Structure 1
Amino acid sequence: MMDLTAREILSSYRKRTLSPVEYANALIAHIARWESTLGALYAYEPDRLVSEARLSEQRWMNGRPCGILDGVPATLKELIATRGLPIPQGSIATKLVPATYDAPPAARLKEAGALIFAKTTVPDFAMLSSGLSTFHPLARNPWNLACNPGGSSAGAAAAAAAGYGPLHVGTDIGGSVRLPAAWCGLVGFKPSLGRIPIDPYYIGRCAGPMTRTVGDAALMMNVLSQPDARDATSLPYADIDWDSYYKGMDVRGLKVGLMLDAGCGLELDDEIRVAIENMAGVLADMGAKIIPVDPVMTPTMLSGLDHYWSARSWAELSQLPPDRLEKVLPFIRTWAQRGEKVSGVAAVDGLGQTFAMRRKCAQLFEHVDIVLSPTTPNVSFPAEYPGPTNDPERSFDHIAFTVPWNMSEQPAISIHCGFSHGGMPIGAQIVTPRFADLQAIRLAAMYETARGPMPRWPLPPS
């Protein structure tokens, strides 16, 4: 039952072959087998889940579901505000103050009838691609508990891969939806900036679905993309037919830019290179034209971004009282404190590198229709690491394939495309032109169909 998609669950509710209460009870039992070792959840409320499932079940029995997700369990990343719950930001240095409102993704899911039964864990201040936190238990990768799920949507990725229900929402400012999705074998979609309203908003910051299938990601887009005036960066609402994801598209003659060099950061693992080349071969067999392309990122761009973010982070952390600053994860404190030595000129130049990325991305799309690349340069890394390099001087070296598309505001989706020799998932990234979100979803769905269903999902510890 835990391998059912959201679409299959809803179909079962309609046919009355499964009830929201039955599914909720099965989910609670499933989580009980996993969670003590996985560390995916924050503010988990099983009693509330059952109570809300009973109300949903009655609505289905009366033939009046309250929305398109009525009775389907869902989680939200800890950073996404839900009224009445504190937002620890993954750190014991944070004062626990209950949120007074539901952020847009939370509000939309509730309006659609989804049963939000938990938040999902993040690392300290969401500034790591890791499940390491001073507030939450260590989040682990269900494919191999000795490995990291990635981050900062760490708990969301772990929960989705472990079958904690079908619907999960993460946030992404440099790869935080797509990176953990790749390391956990999921679909992770970062839409065009502003397609999903979010609050607070910032340069490149997006919310996005993290699911086991493209169809469920498309289902969530129906809900998450609804308008909300609180996001001053949001796009005008577009009535996109997300449910047409399965129709695919004619890729004959489509110019696919194959990017196997990120231009900086970590060297690409050979196993990932082979998997991406194989995926390119699938698209070529469909009639696409594969064009090797140069990277858009440069070492100057990546180091400039690192300087800017360390300065920005230190500006915030340095305001903490000394006793609370000491509680911040040492890796984060060491990395951020470098920002104390970043001059104003260097910080402004670092911010300017985001526009340099945007320019290079736009220039590339003058010559190709889409870009295909790895999502991550490496396969997996130890659960206890704060990031793939375990080095605060190289803390951004794993995001060179993902971060430029945040800055260019383009849709980018990660989809599972194979396994390493050690049995860990590998993710491929499809990038489409700005605002071409449905095209990204459809291309991913086409590949998913050609690839076939996931041969297996992780099983709970015995």
Structure 2
Amino acid sequence: MNDVLGMQVHQLMDCYRRRKLSPVEVMCAVLDQVARFNPLVNGVCGLDEDGALAAARESERRWMRGDPCGLLDGVPISVKDLVAVRGLPTRHGSLTSLAAAEREDAPAVARLRRSGALLFGKTTTSEFGNKIVTDSPLTGITRNPWDRRLSPGGSSGGSAVAVALGMGPLSLATDGGGSIRVPSCWSGVVGMKPSFARVPVGAAGNWTALSTLGPMARTVSDAALMLTVLARKQDGAQSAIELPSDFRAGPDDGVAGLRVAYCPAPAGVRVDPVIADSVRQAVGLIEALGAQVEETELKPLEGYLGSGMHAIQWSVFFAQHARQVHRSARTQLDPDVRSLAEAGARIDVATFTDALKARHALTVAMTAFFDDYDLLVTPTFHCGPPRVPGLPEDLRTAPPLTSWCNQTGLPAASVPCGLPGGLPTGLQFIGPSGADALILRAARAYESARGAFPAAGQLGQDSITDAGART
């Protein structure tokens, strides 16, 4: 990977400050990388090259005056194609969507733009973010940056691929059941689902209060910087949760003395032994850093998989989506979306209410769990990525290690923790509601002790092409 494309955000900013590098140079390098790699992996589905270069030139002028406008001035950022970006259409991976360009940014995107970010393109998603692989009727199949025969995960697979291959150092994604953390795990990047309501979702947000927006990055420090911008309270704004002024503060304070619960696998989940071993080694490193680690069975999750609470709410949500699509166009929907919508349409009010009651009970139980622990660590996913195309039947249920965090609104982050079988896997950090900063601190401590994680781009274009040739 080009040295510029492998830089952390603070390194880019330092180079801008010392006039060793220009935002225009960086934006051009990112666009060149998209042209080189995107045809192989299909991570970016829309570009605004003219707008991005114009914004880069404005950023360059600000840096030349010594007057950057924000924490991300001159940093290229992509946005998952479920989120509105002014000047680009929001297609949701759907043939039923409109191709007209958006006139306004989503609230989170507006915060990025005000910070000086260069919003250059949209990343691929499964249709309406419906599943944990990234393919859609509109944009086709997105492939893993480590092996094109495999999925990068979903539904934020395009964002994971873009970050992993240097097609921009940061991406804004969404997570309704693991859609940030699963592709981060399978693609070897860092992804965080913040506490619910930490980042504004706007009027187009998921009315089931399952999905939220969060950062994807190559390092924890970059994710913390992006979250600082996304979560910063505007003047006069009210927030349901207390907002720290800067998520970058304290990430190097370490984990010594923290009470950390370690759950190798909740009841009913079989974790691939090689993944379990990678996670166990990572937890050992956390313990060596001074954390008080206790292995636990995580009793509040007993029965979660069998309850169907996530599937019930998720399918009702998609039934509502389908009702908004004109009847004549519904045949254009992904068959998986149609199946979800049909299942949701059959759910009665009592069943839906029971799912919401079960959700509340789980939230109460997990709140009590964190009376005894500061953090919880688990594998991010129990197995490696499936081959493309398609999604195996055993992966069509709610992701067992991630979706319950959406039910409870808890913050969670996935950090690469090994290459079992030559492919990335992830360690998931979970905390009580509002503990986003503590999660980032612990994740940074682990990341620092682990050392640099290989970048998918280091494999080179030939390696990615060769892997794809074996499909």
Provide the TM-score with structure 2 as the length reference.
0.91
Contact 1:197-1:231 at 8 Å conserved across structures:
no
Q: Deviations over 1:200-220 (max 9, x none)?
A: 334132211100001101111
Match of 2:425 in 1: 426
TM-aligned CA deviation for residue 250 of structure 1: 4.6
Match of 2:468 in 1: none
Match of 1:33 in 2: 36
Describe the SS at the equivalent of 2:135.
Answer: coil
The residue identity in structure 2 corresponding to 1:30 is Q
Find the aligned partners of 2:111 and 2:305 in 1 and give their Cα distance: 39
Q: Deviations over 1:131-166 (max 9, x none)?
A: 111111321111111111111111101101111121
Among residues 224, 227, 232, which one is paired with 2:230 in the alignment? 224
Match of 2:325 in 1: 320
The residue identity in structure 2 corresponding to 1:241 is D
Match of 1:447 in 2: 446
Describe the SS at the equivalent of 1:291.
Answer: strand
- 2:162 is the alignment partner of 1:159: yes
Find the aligned partners of 1:139 and 1:443 in 2 and give their Cα distance: 31
Describe the SS at the equivalent of 2:414.
Answer: strand
TM-aligned CA deviation for residue 244 of structure 1: 2.2
The residue identity in structure 2 corresponding to 1:161 is A
Q: Deviations over 1:297-317 (max 9, x none)?
A: 324665132123213312331
Distance 1:34 1:250, change over 3 A: closer
Describe the SS at the equivalent of 2:461.
Answer: coil
Distance 1:129 1:305, change over 3 A: same
TM-aligned CA deviation for residue 274 of structure 1: 0.7
Find the aligned partners of 2:253 and 2:8 in 1 and give their Cα distance: 20
Map 1:390-401; keep pairs closer than 5 Å.
Answer: 390=393, 395-397=396-398, 399-401=399-401
- 2:189 is the alignment partner of 1:183: no
TM-aligned CA deviation for residue 242 of structure 1: 2.0
Contact 1:123-1:151 at 8 Å conserved across structures:
yes
TM-aligned CA deviation for residue 400 of structure 1: 1.5
Contact 2:255-2:441 at 8 Å conserved across structures:
no
The residue identity in structure 2 corresponding to 1:205 is S
Distance 1:241 1:55, change over 3 A: closer
Match of 1:241 in 2: 246
Match of 2:467 in 1: none
- 2:84 is the alignment partner of 1:81: yes
Map 1:39-54; keep pairs closer than 5 Å.
Answer: 39-54=42-57
- 2:203 is the alignment partner of 1:204: no
Distance 1:191 1:89, change over 3 A: same
Find the aligned partners of 1:310 and 1:6 in 2 and give their Cα distance: 38
Contact 1:418-1:426 at 8 Å conserved across structures:
yes
Further displaced range: 102-111 or 240-249: 240-249
Among residues 132, 135, 138, which one is paired with 1:129 in the alignment? 132
Map 1:167-316; keep pairs closer than 5 Å.
Answer: 167-199=170-202, 200-201=204-205, 202=207, 203-227=209-233, 234-236=239-241, 238-252=243-257, 254-264=258-268, 267-295=270-298, 296-297=300-301, 298-299=303-304, 302-316=307-321
Unpaired segments ≥5 residues, structure 2 = 463-471
Find the aligned partners of 2:411 and 2:63 in 1 and give their Cα distance: 35
Distance 1:337 1:161, change over 3 A: same
Q: Deviations over 1:75-118 (max 9, x none)?
A: 11111112343322111122345434211111011100010000
- 2:415 is the alignment partner of 1:411: no
Find the aligned partners of 1:195 and 1:55 in 2 and give their Cα distance: 30
Find the aligned partners of 2:405 and 2:121 in 1 and give their Cα distance: 29
Q: Over aligned residue pairs, what C-alpha RMSD do you find?
A: 2.1
Contact 1:128-1:152 at 8 Å conserved across structures:
yes
Match of 2:383 in 1: 378
Find the aligned partners of 2:309 and 2:261 in 1 and give their Cα distance: 26
Contact 1:358-1:408 at 8 Å conserved across structures:
yes
Find the aligned partners of 1:229 and 1:82 in 2 and give their Cα distance: 23
The residue identity in structure 1 corresponding to 2:279 is I
Contact 2:89-2:99 at 8 Å conserved across structures:
yes
Q: Deviations over 1:292-348 (max 9, x none)?
A: 222333246651321232133123314533331101111221233122322221122
Distance 1:206 1:339, change over 3 A: closer
Unpaired segments ≥5 residues, structure 1 = none
Match of 1:104 in 2: 107
Contact 2:43-2:158 at 8 Å conserved across structures:
yes
Match of 1:8 in 2: 11
Match of 2:70 in 1: 67
User: Could you tell me the percent identity over the aligned residues?
Assistant: 32
Find the aligned partners of 1:14 and 1:335 in 2 and give their Cα distance: 50
Distance 1:25 1:95, change over 3 A: closer
Find the aligned partners of 1:279 and 1:426 in 2 and give their Cα distance: 11
Contact 1:414-1:430 at 8 Å conserved across structures:
yes
Further displaced range: 146-155 or 346-355: 346-355
Contact 2:233-2:243 at 8 Å conserved across structures:
no
Q: Deviations over 1:275-307 (max 9, x none)?
A: 111111112212222222223332466513212
Describe the SS at the equivalent of 1:283.
Answer: helix
- 2:60 is the alignment partner of 1:57: yes
Distance 1:59 1:158, change over 3 A: same
Describe the SS at the equivalent of 1:43.
Answer: strand
Aligned length: 453
